């Protein structure tokens, strides 16, 4: 089969990959392809479509800074509006011809002789480019827990991130497993519609009120006519959220104020003291992602919703058995059990210089330099790479900072006539030592089990600082941290 050759290959058509494509076009690079495993763009916002799915970051902040969206209908956008926004970006920036759907990355291998990444997709297509940019998404592979009997269940079993179109649970007995950000949005939508909802909670989460509301027509008209007004709204939201990094990173004790507010929220919405006690977390607020909801607790107070806090022992063909031997029947199991964040790519997916497999390079810990480049992997750039996640604001701010950095790296490659850039191991090690030092005193290290920590207890997900610091550090490509290979004469 022939090889499709390009100047740049992007993997993934979510916010990261599409943002990169827009940046390339802006920089005058038109020879690129975007490989997408699904048959539509949108990433997270294509896959997560369960009832109630919405963003818990305000709409004005959850869009590219260069492409404000005056059409948001709510302060916190529902999933389909975000997907529509991304589809609008594809049309506006004419990315359609660059998209290759059904192109799941099977293998990408650095060919040192040719100075190119040779890429094979699962459907057998071959691509090649000197530069590979991976926007694979931090939360793109659903996780199912290992629970005895899980495969024996006779009813329907769905994961929140793979909600079948048109699935209607009216009148069904539904078991929801997990009480994270997805479950708290889904359960209020099921309550009152399903015949019964049993919610299996392993650990309660802190929940704060969500300042959501419908945006008025006049606001949309204002933003459409004067984009400047929306920039002001975005700016205010940016600084309000940025301020939250202070307690999370520097002053975890201040989070007790938030804890008091969360306890008040719980008291206001749950009258039963026993239920309230089961919903009160032991760990400190901020250690896990703080959840926002106004309708989660009221749903749990309903007679047709049961909070089950006994551990799950096994799944049977009929339902769920807890550690006390009690079996609760269910027609449908809904797994709100999150994503394989710390799970690694299959062997052979990304293979760098001298046959180094990223899976092996990350055997001990997922590490990159500025969350973007990895020693041993020339001309590979990661979007949303290690330690670019946030607990306090919109991750798009991190993505955009990375777009600027990679854009500048490509300019450096071009202008200096280089064949490749590869981050020096010493630079990567020093950067990660700094990150781990800074993470040690933060809220995320206050002693809970969270998806931010790998099996060694190391936080490889979160950026421990303000987003403006990350933006400053990624504004220019710092060639001094890299091995620069000149092009062959």
Alpha carbon 203 to its chain's center: 21
E strand or H helix that includes residue 422: strand 418-423
Residue 33 · residue 10 · CB < 8 Å: yes
181 is a site residue for ligand NAP (CB under 6 A): yes
Alpha-carbon torsion, ordered 459, 460, 462, 467, to 10 deg? 140
Q: Are strands 327-329 and 319-322 parallel, antiparallel or unpaired?
A: antiparallel
Name which of residues 53 to 82 contact ligand NAP (CB under 6 A): 54-56
Alpha carbon 210 to its chain's center: 20
How many residues touch ligand NAP under the rule CB under 6 A: the total is 25
- Per-residue binding string, ligand NAP, 145-164, x by CB under 6 A, is x-x------------x----
CB proximity list for 263: less than 8 A, separation 6 or greater = 280
Per CB under 6 A, the segment of 92-100, 174-182, 316-324, 469-477 that binds ligand NAP is 174-182
Q: Which two tokens stand for residue 439?
A: 């993470």
293 is a site residue for ligand NAP (CB under 6 A): no
374 is a site residue for ligand NAP (CB under 6 A): no
The Cα–Cα gap between 225 and 15 comes to 25
**Of the two residues 96 and 145, which places its CB atom closer to ligand NAP in the complex?**
145
**Of the two residues 20 and 139, which places its CB atom closer to ligand NAP in the complex?**
139
Strand partners, 99: 34
Residue 307 · residue 187 · CB < 8 Å: no
CB proximity list for 395: less than 8 A, separation 6 or greater = 57, 138, 384, 388, 389
Per CB under 6 A, the segment of 110-118, 200-208, 241-249, 324-332 that binds ligand NAP is 200-208
> Which residue is associated with the tokens 């058995």?
321
**Of the two residues 343 and 355, which places its CB atom closer to ligand NAP in the complex?**
343
**Of the two residues 145 and 346, which places its CB atom closer to ligand NAP in the complex?**
145
- The least distance separating ligand NAP from the CB of residue 159, rounded to whole angstroms, comes to 9
Among 449, 472, 475, 476, binds ligand NAP (CB under 6 A): 449
SS3 call for 308: strand
Among 14, 68, 135, 180, binds ligand NAP (CB under 6 A): 180
The Cα–Cα gap between 103 and 35 comes to 5
Among 289, 380, 463, 482, binds ligand NAP (CB under 6 A): 289
Task: Count CA atoms closer than 13 A to 16's CA, side-chain side.
Answer: 28
**Of the two residues 164 and 486, which places its CB atom closer to ligand NAP in the complex?**
164
24 is a site residue for ligand NAP (CB under 6 A): no
**Of the two residues 120 and 315, which places its CB atom closer to ligand NAP in the complex?**
315
Among 11, 16, 134, 139, binds ligand NAP (CB under 6 A): 139
- The least distance separating ligand NAP from the CB of residue 160, rounded to whole angstroms, comes to 6
φ/ψ of residue 247, rounded to 5 = -65, -40
- Per-residue binding string, ligand NAP, 323-362, x by CB under 6 A, is -------------xxxx-----------------------
- Per-residue binding string, ligand NAP, 403-422, x by CB under 6 A, is --------------------
**Of the two residues 290 and 374, which places its CB atom closer to ligand NAP in the complex?**
290
The alpha carbon dihedral of 9, 12, 13, 17 has a sign of negative
> Which residue is associated with the tokens 């050759």?
5
φ/ψ of residue 165, rounded to 5 = -55, 135
Among 130, 178, 319, 376, binds ligand NAP (CB under 6 A): 178
179 is a site residue for ligand NAP (CB under 6 A): yes
- The least distance separating ligand NAP from the CB of residue 277, rounded to whole angstroms, comes to 17
Q: Which two tokens stand for residue 207?
A: 């929940």
Residue 3 · residue 128 · CB < 8 Å: yes
Among 20, 22, 103, 183, binds ligand NAP (CB under 6 A): 183
200 is a site residue for ligand NAP (CB under 6 A): yes
- The least distance separating ligand NAP from the CB of residue 315, rounded to whole angstroms, comes to 11
Alpha carbon 16 to its chain's center: 10
Among 163, 223, 362, 451, binds ligand NAP (CB under 6 A): 451
**Of the two residues 177 and 262, which places its CB atom closer to ligand NAP in the complex?**
177
Alpha-carbon torsion, ordered 28, 32, 37, 43, to 10 deg? -10
Q: Are strands 312-315 and 319-322 parallel, antiparallel or unpaired?
A: antiparallel
The site for ligand NAP (CB under 6 A) is made up of: 54-56, 139, 145, 147, 160, 177-183, 200, 202-203, 289, 312, 336-339, 449, 451
């Amino acid at each position: 089969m022939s090889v499709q050759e390009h100047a740049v290959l992007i993997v993934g058509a979510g916010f990261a990959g599409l943002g990169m494509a827009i940046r390339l076009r802006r920089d005058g690079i038109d020879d690129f392809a975007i490989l997408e495993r699904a048959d539509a763009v949108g990433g997270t916002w294509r896959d997560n479509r369960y009832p109630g799915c919405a963003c818990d970051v305000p709409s004005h902040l959850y869009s590219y800074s260069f492409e404000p969206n005056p059409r948001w209908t709510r302060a916190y956008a529902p999933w389909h509006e975000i997907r529509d926004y991304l589809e609008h970006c594809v049309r506006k920036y004419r990315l359609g011809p660059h998209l290759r759907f059904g192109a799941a990355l099977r293998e990408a291998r650095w060919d040192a002789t040719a100075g190119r990444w040779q890429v094979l997709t699962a459907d057998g297509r071959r691509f090649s480019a000197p530069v590979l940019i991976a926007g694979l998404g931090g939360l793109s592979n659903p996780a199912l827990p290992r629970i005895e009997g899980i495969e024996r269940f006779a009813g329907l079993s769905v994961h929140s991130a793979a909600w079948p179109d048109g699935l209607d649970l009216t009148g069904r007995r539904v078991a929801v497993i997990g009480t994270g950000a997805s479950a708290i949005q889904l359960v209020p939508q099921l309550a009152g519609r399903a015949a019964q909802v049993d919610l299996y909670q392993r650990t309660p989460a802190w929940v704060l009120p969500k300042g959501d509301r419908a945006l008025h027509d006049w606001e949309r008209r204002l933003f459409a006519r004067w984009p400047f007004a929306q920039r002001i709204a975005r700016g205010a939201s940016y600084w309000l959220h940025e301020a939250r990094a202070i307690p999370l990173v520097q002053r975890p004790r201040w989070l007790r104020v938030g804890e008091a507010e969360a306890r008040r929220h719980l008291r206001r919405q749950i009258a039963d003291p026993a239920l309230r006690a089961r919903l009160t977390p032991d760990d400190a607020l901020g250690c896990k992602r703080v959840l926002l909801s106004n309708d989660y607790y009221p749903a749990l107070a309903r007679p047709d919703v049961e909070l089950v806090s006994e551990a799950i022992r096994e799944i049977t063909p009929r339902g769920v058995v807890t550690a006390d031997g009690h079996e609760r029947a269910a027609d449908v199991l809904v797994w709100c059990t999150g994503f394989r964040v710390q799970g690694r790519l299959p062997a052979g997916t990304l293979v760098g210089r001298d046959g180094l497999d990223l899976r092996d390079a990350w055997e001990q810990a997922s590490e990159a330099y500025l969350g973007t480049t990895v020693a041993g992997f020339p001309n590979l750039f990661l979007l949303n790479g290690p330690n670019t996640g946030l607990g306090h604001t919109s991750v798009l701010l991190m993505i955009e900072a990375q777009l600027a950095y990679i854009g500048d790296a490509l300019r450096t490659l071009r202008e200096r006539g280089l064949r490749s850039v590869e981050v020096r191991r010493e630079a990567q090690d020093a950067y990660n030592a700094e990150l781990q030092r800074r993470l040690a005193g933060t809220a995320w290290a206050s002693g809970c089990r969270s998806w931010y920590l790998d099996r060694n207890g190391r936080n490889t997900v979160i950026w421990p600082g303000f987003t403006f610091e990350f933006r400053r550090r990624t504004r220019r490509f710092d060639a001094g941290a890299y091995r620069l290979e000149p092009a062959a004469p």
